[in-house]
Structure 1
């Protein structure tokens, strides 16, 4: 997997909700999660996602708007829901063909913007 496959991961797994190939994209040996609500590793991510679902905050990705890649890093801007409409900003580090590190910002989409440029 090259760095652009992180975009494929987002489209297939997150937008498409097809988790069958999760380990094709994310390292089963090293996966550092920098979200303070999720522990490292796939088990940590799975536990956090289950907790969020219990709270009515399912991770729903509707559309990927932007992909920027430089070296081993890929930044994606996506639109979805996390209990409310949100913008997702996911930064992935890819090594040895797999996603090995993840940072994210999840921010609510305001009802009105102070400008006409749109959020995405």
Structure 2
């Protein structure tokens, strides 16, 4: 996969990533990546993200690759006949992306701790 066209804006040192020239919105759209100091907290709307530690592993791997691996077609995410887990294991996520993925699971860890606490309280302990 070729490197994206990157340019910096004068204000705040933001990075503008342009679409590939073959993309239908290449002439009118781009992605603006702001510096770390202006990062916001994501709040996903809709169904919860899959768990890393239980549930459908293939669905989890497909979701993480879709969110964090650059792609234009499904074949950029995995090869025909390849399992999502295999593609997930082979892809080298950036340190930042790995940290984000780890943090996505914190919600489930908190819910598990809450459930364990309630179970202990019911037992009288």
Task: Give the shorter-chain TM-score range.
Answer: under 0.3
Q: TM-score, normalised on structure 2?
A: 0.22
Higher RCO (C-alpha under 8 Å, 6+ residues apart)? 1
Q: TM-score, normalised on structure 1?
A: 0.23
Higher helix share: 2
Higher strand share: 1
